[in-house]
Structure 1
Amino acid sequence: MDPHNPVVELCTRGMRAEAEGRDDDARALFRQAWDRAADDYEACIAAHYLARHQPTPEETLHWNQECLDRADLVGDDRVTGFYASLHLNMAKAYADLDRPEKAHAHYESAAAHIGAVPPGPYGDGIRMATAEGLRATGRTTRARSAVDDTLADLFRSLCARGDLKALGLILPAYLTDLGTDEDRTRLVTALHMVHAGRWLPDADQDTLAAALGGLTALGEQTAAGRNSAPDGADTSGATG
């Protein structure tokens, strides 16, 4: 984004006001940005920030939808990197309205666009929030839910003992897992590294082994389903 664009400048001032706890000033600045927007691109930016300062979930959804609609109207490279965040915001808005199916659909759309987000802390945050949303809105099968429960037991034990090394190896792969084959492989690799190190207490080692076994079985089931599917059928995705 061009920092000298008047709408961007107003939004930057609004973000500064947010950071300083001046929410009323922030809302007013974002409204000025909306009123000043001269095209769909500028309106998309302003609507994104206005959505953060709405008094009801319905109005938050309205402005997030406005933002997404304007991005679609722009339709060029300027907004390509926006879509993961825009769908994530739509998903959160629907979740706040207790509409999990709509939320899940937008979490899936966010996951589909995650590759266009530049790498770095911002991209990591978008990916983690999307993965969390997919888990919360029913991404997982019963078998994957059992694996996640096993991992939750392991994380609780690691946290209680302050095992930062194990947590540092496993958590990034778990928290950014969008359910793809690549993500499952990354998580399995992290678990294998800790398991092979054999520094965990026996109980944790057994819990880790159970999670590894469950993930390996899921991978084999997915591969078998893909091999037996009719040509052209899509068996990939967040089936974990």
Structure 2
Amino acid sequence: MLHRAGDREEARNRLSALWHEIGPKGDAFHRCALAHYMADTQDDPRDELDWDLRALEAAEGFVTERPAGPAAAPGGTSVADGPGPRHPLVALRAFFPSLHLNIAADYVALDRPADARAQLRRARASADALADGEYRQGLRDAIDRLQLQLDGAAGPAR
């Protein structure tokens, strides 16, 4: 709320306090979401990239370190049998397109077009894995807009 109201500094201060409270061993889902929001409060694009990369690292660590099989999810159910999008693993997987898109935008801001294109490919692939719906379409539209911006910055093909 502070960030949306224009108080980026206070939002950054409060999110930073939460980040230290959660700590490096804290819940990966919470670290991912918090780092994702923290990135948006940064004034320097390098700092924004650092926070977006922390969010991605937390999400990837959670997804790759989860045990497979029926005991993987709370209550002894598999992810497929889980309680829908509220299940942390499903929610994190749905978060990947947005994470990659934000990192691509960070790279555009830092004039790193090759890195931006690589992240856009990852964003597109992870968005394609989502179920059809408004969220997926919104992500695809945002990916396309950033791709056009990136292609325009590259100038005409020679």
Please report the TM-score for the alignment, with normalisation by the length of structure 2. 0.69
For 1:23-62, what aligned pairs fall within 5 Å after superposition? Answer: 23-37=8-22, 38-62=26-50
**Bigger mean CA deviation after superposition, 68-77 or 16-25:** 16-25
* Aligned with 2:4 (options 8, 19, 36): 19
Higher relative contact order (CA 8 A, sep 6+): 2
Contact preservation (8 Å) 1:17, 1:26: yes
In structure 1, distance between residues paired with 2:112 and 2:51: 17
Structure 1 gap ranges (5+): 1-15, 140-144, 146-240
Query: CA offset at residue 42 of structure 1?
Result: 1.3
In structure 2, distance between residues paired with 1:87 and 1:118: 19
Q: 1:33 to 1:123 in 2, by over 3 A?
A: farther
Contact preservation (8 Å) 1:47, 1:66: yes
Q: After superposition, what is the alpha-carbon deviation per residue over 1:90-125, rounded to whole angstroms, capped at 9, x for unaligned? A: 1000000101111011111111111326722x4433
Q: After superposition, what is the alpha-carbon deviation per residue over 1:114-149, rounded to whole angstroms, capped at 9, x for unaligned? A: 1326722x443322110122233349xxxxx9xxxx
Instruction: Tell me how many residue pairs correspond in the alignment.
Output: 124
Larger Rg: 1
Structure 2 gap ranges (5+): 64-88
* Aligned with 1:65 (options 53, 58, 82): 53
Partner secondary structure for residue 25 of structure 1: helix
Contact preservation (8 Å) 2:29, 2:59: yes
In structure 2, distance between residues paired with 1:45 and 1:131: 24
Contact preservation (8 Å) 2:3, 2:41: no
Contact preservation (8 Å) 1:82, 1:117: no
Q: 1:68 to 1:35 in 2, by over 3 A?
A: same
Contact preservation (8 Å) 1:85, 1:110: yes
* Aligned with 2:96 (options 83, 95, 106): 83
In structure 2, distance between residues paired with 1:101 and 1:129: 18
**% identical equivalent positions:** 29
Contact preservation (8 Å) 2:31, 2:58: yes
Q: After superposition, what is the alpha-carbon deviation per residue over 1:180-237, rounded to whole angstroms, capped at 9, x for unaligned? A: xxxxxxxxxxxxxxxxxxxxxxxxxxxxxxxxxxxxxxxxxxxxxxxxxxxxxxxxxx
Contact preservation (8 Å) 2:97, 2:126: yes
Q: Going by fraction, where is helix more abundant, 1 or 2?
A: 1
Query: What residue identity is the alignment partner of 1:30?
Result: L
Contact preservation (8 Å) 1:91, 1:107: yes
In structure 2, distance between residues paired with 1:117 and 1:52: 26
Contact preservation (8 Å) 1:87, 1:106: yes
